[in-house]
Structure 1
Amino acid sequence: MLVDGSTSITREDFGNIKLFLTEIVKNIHIDPNSVQIGLTQYSSTPKTEWDLNSYKTKTSLLMAINNIRQLWGTTKTGRALNYILHRSFKPNVGMRADSKKIAVLITDGESADDVMPPAKNLKDTGIEIYVIGMGDYVNIPELQTIASGDDKTHLFLFSNYESLYSVNNNITSSLCHSDTATDSVRLVNGTSLCSGRLEVKYSQSDNSNQIWSSVCEADFDQTDAEVVCKEIGCGPPLVLQGVFYGEVEASKWTKEFQCGGTESALLDCRRSGSVRNICSSGKVVGLTCSEPVRLVGGASRCEGILEVKLGTWRPVNALGWTMQEGAAACGELDCGSVVSMETRIDYSVRPVWEIQLSCFKSGSPLRECASLSSSQSCSVLELVCTDLLFQPIISVSSKAGVTHSLNNRSAGVFQGSSFTISCSIQPQYPGGSFQLSLNSSNTTHSYTQLAINHSAHFLFPAAEPAHIGSYICVYNVYVFFHDFSSKSHPLTLTVSDPTVFIIRLVLLLSLLLFISLIYSSLQNTRRKQMVPKRKHGAALLSPRC
């Protein structure tokens, strides 16, 4: 909420604005996992009254509205729009990657500064703007410039403040059905906008009610995933997997999708079958798309000018970047480590994204840290990353036997027995070496061997408690005048006392022998009961039931 608190608004009318905000909040479900509301008041300068994550309940938010005090001063709407772009829509103050982002401007007059560039910057970064103009002196063309979409849905004009109450429900409905993001598909409970469990909005037969429903794993394939990733503004799919039905709250399931790959939305795809209440495999679709980040103009997908997509693809301003940020960008692209980073001159002088480097260093994706630069820059970033190496494979073997977990991420050997940890990699380049690292609760060890036939075997003569810990194989090779490396997944090793195993084995064998003796005894007793009894020379059979 961006509220004009300039001198042109009377104290009484500002009170009416507060009442209007109160009614809006009363009609919306306020919750950290649902709707969050922040508020900035502005006049000559903007002031954050509270951030998106400041108030987590409706009661506390209503109290905060009641405590607002008018600023007074000149109406500088352009400055306020720029302020909320760089201050209010950020992860550190509550912005969630998977949520719609909306700005609601309430003003009564013409701005004393330029509103066009900051309004465009807000909309270019995916923020939807609604405008409420009050009184007889508003500059309608200016407000139309600020508002997103159609004037009928995003611009509301009133001659007096009292008339706000008559359309409160209409404005609330418009806000709750905003179309910044797709209205038909979403990924939920993921780590970012581009990952999570897939849900599709399902309309009942009478169209009177719509609910979000999960998609059965068997009804969805790679082509369908490509359409979804494109629809939500992310890159190509990285991981398509099933999520167990027991982990999902949704009780409705969609029909089978049959996308061709050219559709712009999942619901444009052909569908077959009927809606069902259970998935045959017990799993629904979990999807991870790549972030909308790319390198263009290079020899491979891991080389070129760094671009980010927020509505449109634009390059990144190179100012302030170091190899540390370059390495993080290569990691986000799933392109391994950074080889080189250079600044290039872009003679087209097109708009560029400004990356808030402190945000990016904290681990947030590039798209969450990007905003449109206030000035055009010809300095763009060129990266060369590497995705040269496959991931090494780590395994353990022992003549005395090895116990493995179901996912082969942990193994067990007997104390005192010899064991071997092997590192191998799919053949790509000759030579190289393997480094085996052990991280335990007490210490860290490292062992190195040259790669022979793309593998190395580390022999341990006798397993001891000191060998318990997590092992990782790191393959290192020098190619193309650069050093490259690749890590295996960790393998957790446990060492158990063989005497405990022997005792258990003896107890098990003893139990089996005891059961066998009992069984034999029962069989002998039964055979004796079956022998015929003689009486006065005649053979009589004992009666049996």
Structure 2
Amino acid sequence: LRLANGPSRCQGRVEILYNGSWGTVCDDDWDIVDANVVCRQLGCGHAIAMPAPMTFGQGSGPIFLDNVDCKGQEAALSECWSHGWGVHNCYHYEDVAVVCNGDGRIRLVSGADACQGRVEIFYQGSWGTVCDDDWGLSDASVVCKQVGCGQALEYKSNAYFGYGTGHILLDNVNCEGSEPILSACYSLGWGIHNCGHHEDAGVICMGLDTSTITSFTTSTAMDYEEMLTATAT
């Protein structure tokens, strides 16, 4: 799953991968419950808006899902009820889009490339770090998978990539390794810790997995930012 043509990986046109091809989702019966499943699957918190179709442009290729009806607890959009893969009565001007608040998304900071660095996680409008108490390879594996960087090669502790700033948001993280996002792993809870930034956790991943990278179009992002500005004024 990905959000395409948005200004960040947590907003854009919904596209889903099936049998090796990316396709779109029709807006028939689409609602905030469905959008929340998308945001959670991508590690982007919860949905804060469902922009009108065409906000992020029309998709191309197949329309894979129609009349999606999620209950809200599904781990992936493909688990929700629909008419079935490729069964629809739609056109691409009906492609759905989502804007998520971004809680739970991950970035790697101060590394040699985008696939290594200090682990930082987004929560309630701010980026914070993760404490290295109980930090291990299974936790690093979930991080690498979430950011589209393949397998974890090493986990790092003791602020290996330098001290972070701001809040320490997670401590005693204990992933099994199968979780889709780091915030789905056990921890003490948001903001609960007994750490200092000298304990900031880090990872080194194998490298970019191009199949999971969200497409991005600068002109579309600029148009969307202008739309938000106009709405605000």
TM-score (norm 1): 0.23
More RCO (CA 8 Å, sep 6+):
2
Which has the larger Rg? Answer: 1
Structure in which a larger fraction of residues adopt helix: 1
TM-score (norm 2): 0.48
Structure in which a larger fraction of residues adopt strand: 1
